[in-house]
């Protein structure tokens, strides 16, 4: 069962090949068998999942099933889930049981989706390797000594190892697309405002966006249709109608103009990665798309700009975790100041502290204009670059990451090298655009991702191009060896 896509599992449920209870039980058993070696889950909600699956089966028996009814997925542990621990990968929230569901969770639940559990992640979504989690690193199913990417590394590893057919993720600077590239999964980061952020623990509010990690673009289309749309509880969620993403998947690509970003292929890109992306471009051309070069001249400024804007916003968002209003509380404080200091000192890990300090610095009087305001201006320049590139292209395509997955431990002590991992993804967040990473090959047994970027709210075309590419290729079908054989 587990090698099938969500769409195939939906069809099997519809045809009565197996029940949701059997399906959910199968994935729960896989988590039990495989997760000890991968550490992709923080919490597994076995009993709740089986109960929800039985309810889904009853709904189906009564003719009440929708397209997603009874399908299991995992949620990144950044989404609030009612009655279930929501840790955000941090000691700060290790004992937090959310009293409500995030909109993403609520909408999927209302569509009949069954939650298998909550996935491991970089602490407060800050990281590119899943090594900053309070719960320890996640291992890449394609090589246990490799990182799965971050921050949605638990979700990506869970889907790659087929412990869940699909998972949610969030992407502030690449956290869906980069782990998808590292694990041979399909990672969709929608347009900023496409999916509600209500109940999604905030990192950098002007960049954060919820999306999916799946086995195919079709699966992403299925889930996005249920997740997307205006939410009065998130003032930045857009009042833009949600199209039928599935209906547009097979639209021919003839006449589509693809822009290949010149700067993406400058130094820093692994040559084998570049070759895999080059082959993918040939496939897209074969599907009828025209391919031309475009330029994003300010691309080199995107990482430094992000590392001013994101820390600034996070320093503000994370100020609520003070041991009194929210979060871990240190024991036996001497006085109030000691309580604040030790609660935050003990509750947050090193990377989060680094970001809070950077953010506080760039927002402080005297430095605000020099750093924060300047970064906001450069952000506009980067958005303008994309805008101009889209005058000559319907989609922008390039690699998702400069290299395949790296070794666990290789970059943890070198933040700048770690930050540069996101060079191809961060600009997309700064401009608020949608992007998707799809598997496009392997280098030394490790997956490589192709990134497709679209204009605002054009997820339909992104999914269409990704789906057409996947109907011509089978990279996304490959699963890592060492997974248990198919059963049931």
Q: Which residue from 89, 137, 148, 173 is in contact with ligand GLN, where contact means CB under 6 A?
A: 173
Residue 58 and residue 62: Cα distance in Å, rounded? 6
| 178, containing H or E segment | helix 177-183
Q: How many degrees, rounded to 5, is the angle at CA 100 between CA 99 and CA 104?
A: 150
Nearest to 469 by CA among 259, 261, 283, 239: 283
Tokens of 395: 């989609």
CA distances in angstroms from 400 to 230, 269, 272, 451, 456, listed in the order given = 28, 10, 13, 5, 19
Catalytic residue among 20, 76, 87, 129: 76
- The answer to the question of residue 441 lying near ligand GLN (CB under 6 A) is no
The rounded distance, in Å, linking the Cα atoms of 6 and 218 is 8
**Is 334 marked active-site?**
no
The single residue among 20, 172, 196, 455 that binds ligand GLN, judged by CB under 6 A, is 172
Tell me: does residue 175 bind ligand GLN (CB under 6 A).
yes
- 3-class secondary-structure state, position 232: coil
From the number of C-beta atoms within 10 Å of its C-beta (0-12, 13-18, 19+), residue 401 rates as buried
Compute φ and ψ for 276, nearest 5 degrees: -65, -40
Q: Rule CB under 6 A: is residue 123 a binding residue for ligand GLN?
A: no
**363-402 mask for ligand GLN (x: CB under 6 A)?**
----------------------------------------
Which H or E run contains 155?
A: helix 153-160
- The region, left, alpha or beta by phi > 0 then psi within -120 to 50, assigned to residue 130 is left
CB 340 within 8 A of CB 323: yes
- Asked if 89 touches ligand GLN (CB under 6 A), the answer is no
Check residue 422 for interaction with ligand GLN (CB under 6 A).
yes
151 catalytically annotated: yes
In the complex, the smallest distance separating the C-beta of residue 203 from ligand GLN, rounded to whole angstroms, is 6
Q: Does 143 bind ligand GLN (CB under 6 A)?
A: no
Q: Which is nearer to ligand GLN, 149 or 323 (CB)?
A: 149
What is the C-alpha to C-alpha distance for residues 288 and 236, in angstroms, rounded to an integer?
37
Out of 20, 155, 175, 196, which one is annotated catalytic?
175
Among the listed residues 356, 320, 324, the one whose alpha carbon sits nearest the alpha carbon of residue 338: 324
Give yes or no: 364 in active site: no
What does the per-residue mask of binding to ligand GLN show for 184-223, with x meaning CB under 6 A? -------------------x--------------------
Residue 420: strand, helix, or coil: helix
Beta carbon of residue 314, minimum distance to ligand GLN (angstroms, whole number): 9
Q: Does 5 bind ligand GLN (CB under 6 A)?
A: no
Calpha distance 451→446 (Å, rounded):
16
Which CB sits closer to ligand GLN, 130 or 464? 130
* Contact call for residue 318 and ligand GLN (CB under 6 A): no
- What is the pattern of x (binds ligand GLN, CB under 6 A) and - over residues 276-315? ----------------------------------x-----
Q: How many residues of this chain bind ligand GLN (CB under 6 A)?
A: 13
Binding residue (CB under 6 A) for ligand GLN from 102, 126, 195, 408: 126
Whether 167 and 155 have beta carbons less than 8 Å apart is answered as: yes
Q: Is 237 in the site for ligand GLN (CB under 6 A)?
A: no
* Biggest distance spanned by C-alpha atoms of the chain: 70
> Which is closer to ligand GLN, CB of 55 or CB of 412?
412
Cβ-based nearer residue to ligand GLN, 81 or 172 = 172
Among 112, 117, 127, 439, binds ligand GLN (CB under 6 A): 127
What gap in Å lies between CA 478 and CA 135, rounded to an integer?
28
151 binds ligand GLN (CB under 6 A): yes
Q: What is the DSSP letter of 467?
A: H
Closest CB 125 distance from ligand GLN, rounded Å: 4
Query: What does the angle CA 171 – CA 109 – CA 96 come to, to the nearest 5 degrees?
Result: 65
Nearest to 161 by CA among 480, 406, 444, 438: 480
**Binding segment for ligand GLN among 121-129, 263-271, 367-375, 479-487 (CB under 6 A)?**
121-129
Minimal CB distance residue for ligand GLN: 175
Q: Which two tokens stand for residue 364?
A: 């402080």
Given candidates 57, 123, 171, 218, which one binds ligand GLN under the rule CB under 6 A? Answer: 171
Q: How far is the CB of 191 from ligand GLN (least distance, A)?
A: 15
Tokens for 8, please give them: 């195939």
Which residues of this chain interact with ligand GLN, rule CB under 6 A? 125-128, 151, 171-175, 203, 310, 422
Catalytically active residues are: 76, 151, 175
């Amino acid at each position: 069962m587990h090698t099938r896509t969500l769409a195939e599992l939906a069809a099997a449920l519809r045809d009565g090949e197996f029940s949701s209870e059997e399906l959910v039980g199968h994935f729960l058993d896989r988590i039990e068998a495989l997760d000890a070696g991968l550490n992709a889950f923080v919490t597994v909600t076995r009993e709740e999942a089986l109960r929800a699956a039985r309810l889904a089966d009853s709904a189906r028996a009564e003719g009440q099933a929708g397209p997603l009814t009874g399908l299991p997925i995992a949620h990144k542990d950044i989404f609030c889930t009612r009655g279930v621990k929501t840790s955000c990968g941090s000691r700060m929230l290790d004992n937090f049981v959310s009293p409500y569901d995030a909109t993403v969770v609520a909408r999927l639940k209302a569509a009949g989706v069954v939650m298998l559990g909550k996935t491991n992640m970089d602490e407060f979504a800050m990281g590119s390797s899943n090594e900053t989690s309070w719960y320890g690193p996640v291992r890449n199913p394609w090589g246990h000594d490799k990182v799965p990417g971050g921050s949605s590394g638990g979700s990506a590893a869970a889907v790659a190892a087929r412990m869940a057919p699909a998972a949610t993720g969030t992407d502030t600077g690449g956290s869906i697309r980069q782990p998808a590239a590292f694990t041979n999964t399909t990672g969709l980061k929608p347009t900023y405002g496409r999916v509600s952020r209500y109940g999604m623990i905030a990192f950098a509010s002007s960049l954060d966006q919820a999306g999916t990690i799946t086995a195919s673009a079709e699966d992403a289309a299925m889930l996005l249709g249920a997740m997307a749309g205006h939410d009065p509880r998130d003032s930045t969620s857009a009042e833009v109608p949600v199209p039928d993403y599935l209906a547009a998947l097979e639209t021919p690509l003839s006449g589509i103009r693809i822009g290949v970003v010149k700067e993406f292929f400058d130094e820093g890109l692994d040559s084998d990665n570049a070759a895999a992306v080059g082959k993918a471009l040939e496939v897209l051309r074969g599907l009828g798309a025209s391919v031309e070069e475009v330029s994003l001249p300010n691309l080199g400024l995107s990482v430094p700009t992000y590392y001013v804007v994101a820390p600034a916003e996070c320093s503000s968002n994370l100020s609520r975790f003070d041991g009194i209003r929210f979060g871990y509380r240190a024991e036996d404080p001497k006085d109030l100041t000691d309580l604040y200091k030790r609660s935050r000192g003990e509750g947050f890990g090193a990377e989060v502290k680094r970001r809070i300090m950077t953010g506080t610095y760039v927002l402080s009087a005297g430095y605000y204009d020099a750093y924060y305001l300047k970064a906001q201006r450069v952000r506009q320049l980067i958005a303008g670059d994309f805008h101009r590139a889209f005058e000559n292209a319907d989609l922008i395509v390039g690699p998702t990451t400069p290299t395949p997955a790296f070794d666990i431990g290789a970059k943890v002590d070198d933040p700048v090298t770690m930050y540069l991992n996101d060079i191809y993804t961060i600009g997309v967040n700064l401009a608020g655009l949608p992007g998707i990473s799809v598997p496009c090959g392997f280098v030394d047994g490790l997956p490589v991702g192709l990134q497709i970027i679209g204009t605002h709210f054009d997820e339909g075309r992104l999914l269409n191009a990704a789906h057409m590419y996947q109907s011509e290729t089978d990279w996304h079908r490959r699963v890592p060896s060492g997974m248990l054989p198919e059963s049931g």
